[in-house]
Amino acid sequence: MFSTITNILVQYKEGLLSGLLVTLGLVAIVWLSGLIFGVLFGIYAHQKKSTGSSLKVLWFLISSTPILVLLFWLHFPLQEILGVVIRPFITASFAFSIVNIIFVAAIVRDALEQFPEQYAIAGKVSGLNDREIFTKIKFPFIFRAVIPQFLFLQVAMLQATIFASLISVNEIFRVAQQINSMIYKPIEIYTTLALFFIAICLPLNLLAYWLKNKYTRDLSEK
């Protein structure tokens, strides 16, 4: 089987590589938008009550809607209603980014709301300035709370990108399906695909697990 996998990788390297690049491009957009806009949205939602309420509503809506349904809705009915045709890659990027932004924002907002403000006051009366309080007390505290959840979410988002194949995005799963339809070697092809996802997801999962163990030490006082 190993030689067959190698043969497939060599023979279809261009197709697989282009599929891989599409997947990586898609996930890069989703991760970056989550990291930038999700974090900003979360901070803003913490600071402004009305935005916080909007985030709650959006979170309930998005977490109650299967990602595939959202993707199909944006790809088919919405475009028909608006009378536009948008490239599937853009639709998929938009759909996954929206989900990631809202979920990241909720994680950030929750962590900020759970931060005991008295720790900041203790810093203030000790003569620390606002920047020092943020970098030395607030940020490390919140980072510890956020990072494992954030990484697990990003792994889930990477895995969710295979749904993009269902609206004709030529990402790696779709390319694998196309190769399989030509040579019918499902075991080898889907094993290769699984190895690809394991190669990216496993280190991320291990990192999240390590960070969780390292930073989410029980801080409660005995």
With beta carbons less than 8 A apart as the criterion, state whether 105 and 55 touch.
Answer: yes
List, in sequence order, the alpha helices (H) in the chain.
Answer: 2-11, 13-33, 39-47, 49-64, 67-75, 77-82, 88-114, 117-125, 130-132, 139-160, 172-183, 186-215
Does 89 contact other proteins by CB under 8 A? no
Does 212 contact other proteins by CB under 8 A? no
The smaller minimum CB distance to other proteins, of residues 106 and 137, is found at 137
The smaller minimum CB distance to other proteins, of residues 94 and 141, is found at 141
* Cα 55 from chain centre: 17
Interface segment toward other proteins; rule CB under 8 A; list 47-55, 69-77, 121-129, 162-170:
121-129
Judged on CB neighbours under 10 Å (0-12, 13-18, 19+), 212 is middle
The smaller minimum CB distance to other proteins, of residues 108 and 172, is found at 108
Interface segment toward other proteins; rule CB under 8 A; list 45-53, 62-70, 119-127, 173-181:
119-127
Tokens encoding 124: 């203030």
Q: Please, what is the angle between helix 88-114 and helix 67-75, to 10°?
A: 140
Q: How far is the CB of 153 from other proteins (least distance, A)?
A: 22
Q: How far is the CB of 134 from other proteins (least distance, A)?
A: 13
177 vs 184: CA distance, rounded Å:
9
Does 127 contact other proteins by CB under 8 A? yes
With beta carbons less than 8 A apart as the criterion, state whether 107 and 42 touch.
Answer: yes
The smaller minimum CB distance to other proteins, of residues 65 and 126, is found at 126
Q: How far is the CB of 113 from other proteins (least distance, A)?
A: 17
Does 140 contact other proteins by CB under 8 A? yes
Of 10, 125, 182, 199, which one interacts with other proteins (CB under 8 A)?
Answer: 125
85 vs 116: CA distance, rounded Å:
49
Of 41, 96, 141, 163, which one interacts with other proteins (CB under 8 A)?
Answer: 141
The smaller minimum CB distance to other proteins, of residues 83 and 127, is found at 127
Q: Residues with Cβ < 8 Å from 22, sequence gap 6 or more?
A: 89, 169, 170, 171, 172
Interface segment toward other proteins; rule CB under 8 A; list 63-71, 133-141, 172-180, 188-196:
133-141
Q: Give the residues lining the site for other proteins (CB under 8 A).
A: 116, 118-119, 121-128, 136-137, 140-141, 144, 217-222
